[in-house]
Structures are given as structure tokens and as C-alpha cells.
Amino acid sequence: MMSDFAAQCLAVKHADHEFLLHPERVMYWPAQKILFAADVHVGKEHVFARHGIAIPGGISESTLKQLFALAHASGAQRLIVLGDFMHNVPTASENWLVTLTQLLDQHSHIVVEVVAGNHDRAAGRDVTDARLLWHASSLEIEGLALHHEPCKDIRGYVLCGHLHPAWRIGKARRGSIKAPVFWFQEHCAVLPAFGEFTGGVIIEPDAKRDSLYMTGPDCVIKVPAENGYATRKASKAKNS
């Protein structure tokens, strides 16, 4: 029987592996029971507050609760964040640190790992719960190379984050739809940013080689190249 989690996902096959893409911007690898997320950026609102910019509290706590809820719903045994788990070195008083510890207590059956990104500074890693397993460099699992930033890796197909990829359907900003996307390229797949307070950057995919999967409120859809980015890239070339 298909789980509620799987029912919301789009199943795709890349690099000889099947993945489930979830509308909440996480990717599940059923064969290994691993849930992947990228660019969580917890603590970002506290960084803004320290610079005098008022941001509503509770964003990081909500983000962590949603991430662990998805890991639990998927049936994952491992939760791996592909970098930028945190936004900056946290102060000891930041509430999300307590929430993280509580969630690790509640979901002790899930091993939580982070492939350190450019925001995951060593001083910050020392402040977080010691049960987080940090990988200072990349990690290889069954022919997949896990990184934070896009690259090529002789060990296998790369999974990464860092770019916060997004796509816009429609030419004009007014009346168009912009949403985070899973961006599968020839040598790597870039996951959308998971964090609620992250934003997205419109990417420039290769219409012949790449596949885009756009996230919606309750589904993930493949963006047809012939009606989407292929047409846009051709238009750019014609007008350049």
C-alpha cells in the first residue's frame, strides 16, 4: 500500500536510481531509505535580527519540525542535508537549538547527517546537538556523490544544493508562476532550498540535457522543455 508521503511524490529515474520528489522540496531514495534536503538555513532570522532587521520569530523552529515530520513520514532511516543546515554561527540562546534537540529525542531512530556547506562554519557545528553527524567534505553512497555545491565527481552522480534553483512559467512576471525546482543535469542534480526563509534563483538549464521538476502546493510536475526552458533559451539566442 502506497504511503501518504509517496502518494504526493513524483517518481523519477536518474543515474540508474529511482527517487521520489516531494512538493515540500525534499527527495527520498527508497532503495537506501534516505531523505535528502538542501539549504535549510536555520537561524537566518536571528542573523537578520542581530543586524537590526525585524523578522518574525519561530521560522527556524517551524522549518525543523517540518523537516523531521517529512523524514518520519517517508520512512527514512537517514536524513542527509546537502549543506547550509544553518545560516551562520548561532548564539546559545537561539530557540531552534532547543527544538533541534527535542526533535532528535523524538526521532532517535533517524540518523541525521550534514554535508557541510559554506554557511556551516566549524564554530557553529560545535554549538549544535552532538548527535548531528557532520561531513566536512563530500560523501559517497552507492555510486552517488553528495556535495553542497555543484561539481563533477569521478565517484558518481552528484547530489547537491547551494543554488536555490527556481523556475518561472510564463514570460511576464505578472500572471506567471515562479516556484522552486529540482534541477537534474548530466552530471549532477541540484535540490531546491528547503528553508522557509531562503528564496529562489531563476536558473538557465540546458534544454537538451537537463530535466526540471517544479514543486507546487501538493504535487511535483515535470516542466516540458518544448513549452518551457527550450523556448526561452531559443528566444534569448535570437535576441542576443
Q: Nine-digit cell at 178?
A: 515562479
Q: Distance between CA atoms of 39 and 10, rounded to whole angstroms? A: 21
What's the pLDDT at 155? 96
C-alpha cell of residue 157: 552522480
d(CA 211, CA 224): 8
Strand-pair category, 157-160 with 144-146: parallel
In degrees and rounded to multiples of 5, residue 147 shows phi and psi of: -135, 175
For 175-227, what is each residue's pLDDT tens digit? 678 999 999 999 999 999 998 877 889 999 998 899 999 999 999 999 987 65
Q: How long, in residues, is the chain?
A: 240
Residue 235 has a pLDDT of: 46
Low-confidence ranges of the chain (pLDDT < 50): 234-235, 237-240
* pLDDT value for 234: 46
Q: Is 190 exposed, middle or buried (0-12, 13-18, 19+ CB in 10 A)?
A: buried
Contact between 209 and 186 under an 8 Å Cβ cutoff? The reply is yes
Per-residue model confidence (pLDDT) at position 94: 86
* The residue type at 72: H
pLDDT score, position 144: 98
pLDDT of residue 104: 98
Looking at residue 89, what is its pLDDT? Answer: 79
How far apart are the C-alpha atoms of 156 and 176, rounded to whole Å? 36
- Residue 238: its pLDDT value, please? 40
Task: State pTM to two decimals.
Answer: 0.91
Please tell me the distance from the alpha carbon of residue 37 to that of residue 70, in angstroms, as a whole number.
10
What domains are defined for the chain? 4-239 (3.60.21)
